[in-house]
Amino acid sequence: AQRLGAIRMLTAAIKQKEVDERIELDDAAVVGIVDKLIKQRKDSIEAFEKAGRQDLADNEAAEIAVLQAYLPARLSREEIAEQVKAIVAETGAKGPGDIGKVMGAAKAKLAGKADMGQVSAAVKAALTG
């Protein structure tokens, strides 16, 4: 029942986006929706645990497991760091002021392949360290 609920929620989110934007979503857009739903579930888990509702947190964790099955394989932290180094070299970024430029290039290259939160952390580390 939990699996079915998670899948219904995912299909509803995809259809909603298609109706709102009057387009048919490509794979990258669907991956973005799945990522967003997983992030929402993680935020909910945090809130439920703070409120002492472990039962609800467990439900959210189960939904995350179902949603992750629909994501392509992700790059590891090491692979992300390598990609970010290459992007920094390509863009000629020198310091923290260039984070926006590097993130734009990284998003274009890594969206759907890597957790953008990890990419952001790697970009900041590469440009400040």
> Each residue of 25-83: pLDDT tens digit?
888 788 889 989 999 999 999 999 999 999 999 999 999 999 999 888 888 889 999 99
> Each residue of 5-16: pLDDT tens digit?
999 999 999 999
* Arch. (CATH architecture) of 77-128: Orthogonal Bundle (1.10)
74: helix, coil or strand? coil
> Which residues in the chain are classed under CATH 1.10.10.410?
77-128
CATH number of 2-68: 1.10.1510.10
Estimate the share of the chain in helix, then strand, then coil, as percent rounded to the nearest 5.
80, 0, 20
- For the entire predicted model, the pTM comes to 0.70
